[in-house]
């Protein structure tokens, strides 16, 4: 079982993957999202999105600006205006 994660910018769909956990830099604190997370929405600070492919693996880091995260039935969706890395 894995978390479905999508990273979308205005210009394209950057990532669409099944991962173990994503750490989202929310405006009110970092939030680790695992599979089965309750639905929620948060705006994001400009910061680093950390993606853990598997449990305990080294995280992949993506710089995100102007982000917004949404957790719903079909996983985590991050809408970001600018993405680096």
Q: Which residues lie near other proteins (CB under 8 A)?
A: 6, 8-13, 26-28, 31, 38-43, 66, 68, 70, 72-73, 77, 79, 81
Which residues, other chains included, contact 23 with Cβ-Cβ below 8 Å and sequence gap of 6+? 30, 31, 32, 33, 49, 50, 51, 52, 59
Nearer to other proteins, 2 or 8 (CB): 8
Please report how close the Cβ of residue 46 comes to other proteins at its closest, in angstroms.
12
Please report how close the Cβ of residue 10 comes to other proteins at its closest, in angstroms.
5
Question: Which helix (H) or strand (E) element contains residue 67?
Answer: strand 60-72
Please report how close the Cβ of residue 12 comes to other proteins at its closest, in angstroms.
4
**19 and 52 in contact (C-beta within 8 Å)?**
yes
């Amino acid at each position: 079982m894995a978390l479905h994660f999508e990273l979308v910018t205005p210009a394209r769909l950057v990532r669409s993957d099944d991962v173990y956990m994503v750490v989202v830099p929310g405006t009110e604190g970092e939030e680790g999202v695992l599979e089965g997370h309750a639905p929620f929405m948060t705006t994001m600070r400009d910061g680093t999105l950390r993606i853990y492919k598997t449990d305990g693996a080294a995280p992949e880091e993506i710089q995100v600006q102007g982000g917004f995260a949404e957790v719903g039935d079909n996983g985590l969706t991050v809408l970001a205006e600018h993405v680096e890395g």
